[in-house]
Amino acid sequence: MNNRLMQQLGDKIKYANFSAEDAAKLYLSYAKITKNYGAAIRAVQTKLEILDEDFELLHEHNPIHHMETRVKSIESILEKLTRKGYPLTGQAITEGLTDVAGIRVICHYVEDIYTIADLLKRQADIQVVKETDYIKHPKPNGYRSYHLVVKVPVFFVDGVVEMPVEVQIRTMAMDFWASLEHKLRYKSDGLIPKFIADELKECSETIAASDLKMQRIHSFLEDIEHNLQLPELVDETLSQEAEREGN
């Protein structure tokens, strides 16, 4: 291994439980890691695209706005292996790090999140490893999202491998908050004063309320579209709105 690469690795593995030589080997094998986990991402992403298209055909609504994908960087893999005290092996990466491959699914409405999650979990070849609902149970900082870790079979030349993929499903509003919160926290090196953290959490609550309001508007318009007695439904709704404003 050349000295330049070893020097570049020095700071990254200062507190690691493995040698610079082992870390350098991981760098060289990263191409294979990227290929394998990239294939797993494509397998799950294709399933989601098919589900979105089929749902649109049946219900005239696309639950997915867009998707973003990534394979964790080699630096992040090294850092996480070190932090968790795992050995530098392929098995440790596959079994210990369930978020090497990630898909972020951005939906229009909260209801869409649960629709997509349920449809994906019902796939015969999908194995749910972990499921966390940060929408019903937000993190203390206000973070909201629906997380799934699934295993999907990927067919390589040498055989089939069950690969883990982390799927984060959230609305556009949730993604807006999470992206800015992450950027602000990164900019301040994670040291955010309490009053700023409180402001961010309040913003999260406001965005969550807006999400629910948009969901109600969407559901109402869908009811109008499919309800045969449109005049009565509209008149009743207008009367209820006027009564609320009067109070």
72-85 confidence digits (pLDDT tens): 988 888 888 888 88
Q: Residue 149 half-sphere exposure, CB side, CA atoms within 13 Å? A: 14
In angstroms, the Cα distances linking 143 to 147, 176, 207 are: 12, 11, 11
166 is catalytic: yes
Q: Is the pLDDT of residue 16 over 80?
A: no
- Please state, as a whole number, how many other Cβ atoms lie within 10 Å of the Cβ of residue 43: 18
Q: How does pLDDT run across 18-74, given as a tens digit for each residue?
A: 566 766 676 777 888 889 999 999 999 999 999 999 999 999 999 999 999 999 988
pLDDT given at position 23: 65
116 touches 105 (CB < 8 A): yes
pLDDT tens digits, 140-172: 999 999 999 999 999 999 999 999 999 999 999
pTM (two decimals): 0.82
- Domain residue extents for the chain: 3-172
Identify the active-site residue in 95, 166, 222, 232: 166
The class that CATH gives domain 3-172 is alpha beta
